Amino acid sequence: MAQMNIGIAGLGVVGAKTAQLLLSPLHAQNGTDLSLRAVSARNKDADRGFSLDGIDWHDDARELAARDDIDIIVELIGGSDGIALELVSSALRAGKHVVTANKAMIAHHGFALAELAETQNVSLLFEAGVAGGIPALKLIREGLAANHLTRITGILNGTSNFILSEMTATGRPFADVLAEAQEKGFAEADPSFDIDGVDAAHKLAILAALGFGEKISFDAVQCKGIRAIDKADIAFAGEFDYTIKLLGIAERGGMRSVQPCLISNSHAIAHINGAMNAVCVEAEPVNIINCSGPGAGAGPTASAVLSDLIDIAHHRTAPVFGVSTDRLEDAPEISAAKQISKFYIRMLVSDRAGVLSDITAILKELDISVESMLQRGQPKADTVTLVMTTHQTSLEAIEKAQARLAKADFVTGNIMVLSIIDANELR
């Protein structure tokens, strides 16, 4: 087997671990001859756990694409645009294979990059961009190639899952657990992409495009994060035998959403805790496949990068999104208001006669049927927390009810609304 020379752009924890693995005998067990030839990062003098002896250094990552002696560019800089996109585009135009963990770039520019890779007859692989150490993309592209996928469900962000898991286990408030996640390195100083659902939405867009043979569309994903989840919601969910998870759901020809949901405790995905990820694929004829594992971190992500490099070295590659770009369909445009679900509703209301009948009258007018209800008194004696779950209804109806209730003089503060996913919905 001919030697394949590698250039790595970005030497953070994942880039450094990837370099360490390339310089170790580990990958040789797979019968490949991968040679780390050059690297690029911000600071040449940082200690990254490996020696730069015999490895060329570039201050400007874009220079890697111009080298004739590099066969594969590994892009681990991050960011949807900027130097990362310039490097990958230039590398593909130069006829070089590209491996990346950059889900934001793929979510926003994946179709154009796939066209470019196809034109140049090179590979563009990004297993490390989705679910860390879980081979989710290989599962869909290769293992389930003979199947017709109908639905993909996943816990796709380890930071949010850690926060919700800790809130569930300890009863602590969101802000306290977020601070702990930052201290432990699970969350960035600015955790917005994680806790607002953007990171998970990038990954869901990729999974949907690959699973359903579509042009990737980040804009098609409805996105809602976990900032507003209160420890009270965690507790009430438990009383109804549910657990709250940030869930990504994509249906063939249907909605794509990332949102916190109440998931029945009878389903396995409700018990994926900590920084773990999970991907559940429904398809015919295989029926259903569940995978779980570490969704981030140096080891799991570098493992996925190496897996892509080994596939390229062995010529085990396929079209970027499973089929040629001219066969990819447009992603469906579906309003979130058309979502049909059971819903959880929590509100603080005045503790006086007639309030409950006023609430049920509003719900009845919008054809919303209540399945169950809880009421809890507050330290302030004139208010109570009212929690209810509904039967199946549309988000459009729920939002109309929410707007009307918010204007009522007997409701105090914000009204929390979350979708409910029962075990039979996840099969």
Is 203 annotated in the active site? yes
Contact 207, 271 (CB under 8 A): no
- 53 Cβ contact partners less than 8 Å away, ≥ 6 residues apart: none
In the chain, which segments carry CATH 3.30.70.260?
338-421
pLDDT value at position 376? Answer: 84
Distance, CA of 349 to CA of 412 (rounded, Å) = 6
Architecture of domain 136-295: 2-Layer Sandwich (3.30)
Contact 187, 181 (CB under 8 A): yes
- Which is nearest to 75 in space by CA: 185, 64, 157, 351? 64
pLDDT value at position 26? Answer: 62
Span 128-135, average pLDDT: 93
On average, the pLDDT of the chain sits at: 92
pLDDT tier at 161 (50, 70, 90 boundaries)?
very high
In the chain, which segments carry CATH 3.30.360.10?
136-295
Higher pLDDT, 201 or 339: 201
CA distances from 82 to 62, 78, 104, 212, 219 (A): 11, 9, 12, 29, 20
Distance, CA of 321 to CA of 215 (rounded, Å) = 8
pLDDT value at position 121? Answer: 95
- 24 Cβ contact partners less than 8 Å away, ≥ 6 residues apart: none
Span 322-333, average pLDDT: 92
- Give the rounded percent of residues in the chain with a pLDDT score beyond 90: 80
CA 156, 159, 162: angle at the middle one, nearest 5?
A: 100
pLDDT tens figures, 201-247:
999 999 999 999 999 999 999 999 999 999 999 999 999 999 999 99
Provide the angle, in degrees to the nearest 10, between the axes of the packed helices 103-120 and 198-212: 30
Residue with tokens 């809602």: 224
pLDDT tier at 56 (50, 70, 90 boundaries)?
very high
Distance, CA of 371 to CA of 394 (rounded, Å) = 15
Fill in the amino acid letter for 324: S
Query: Which option is the CATH number for 4-129: 3.40.50.1370, 1.10.230.10, 3.40.50.720, 2.40.50.140?
Result: 3.40.50.720
Distance, CA of 335 to CA of 256 (rounded, Å) = 10
pLDDT tier at 27 (50, 70, 90 boundaries)?
low
Residue 372 corresponds to which tokens in the numbers above? 């169950």
Residue 422: φ, ψ to 5°: -85, 160
Residue 202 corresponds to which tokens in the numbers above? 């990038």
Class of domain 338-421: alpha beta
Is 328 a residue whose pLDDT tops 60?
Answer: yes
How far from the centroid of its chain's Cα atoms is residue 308's Cα? Answer: 20
Span 300-316, average pLDDT: 92
Contact 416, 347 (CB under 8 A): yes
pLDDT tier at 333 (50, 70, 90 boundaries)?
confident
Is 101 a residue whose pLDDT tops 60?
Answer: yes
Distance, CA of 207 to CA of 43 (rounded, Å) = 34
Distance, CA of 62 to CA of 215 (rounded, Å) = 27
pLDDT value at position 31? Answer: 66
- The residue ranges of DSSP E strands in 199-312, in sequence order, are 221-223, 242-251, 256-264, 276-284, 287-294
- Which is nearest to 161 in space by CA: 126, 132, 136, 127? 132
pLDDT value at position 349? Answer: 92
- Give the rounded percent of residues in the chain with a pLDDT score beyond 70: 96
pLDDT value at position 110? Answer: 97
pLDDT tens figures, 82-98:
999 999 999 999 999 99
Whole-prediction pTM: 0.93
Active-site residue identified among 96, 103, 203, 342: 203
In the chain, which segments carry CATH 3.40.50.720?
4-129
pLDDT value at position 338? Answer: 77
What 8-state DSSP symbol labels residue 366? Answer: T
- 45 Cβ contact partners less than 8 Å away, ≥ 6 residues apart: none
The helices-and-strands tally (H runs, E runs) of the chain is 12, 17
pLDDT value at position 367? Answer: 95
Residue 9 corresponds to which tokens in the numbers above? 């752009």
pLDDT tens figures, 167-214:
999 999 999 999 998 888 888 889 999 999 999 999 999 999 999 999
Is 423 a residue whose pLDDT tops 80?
Answer: no
CA 148, 153, 158: angle at the middle one, nearest 5?
A: 140
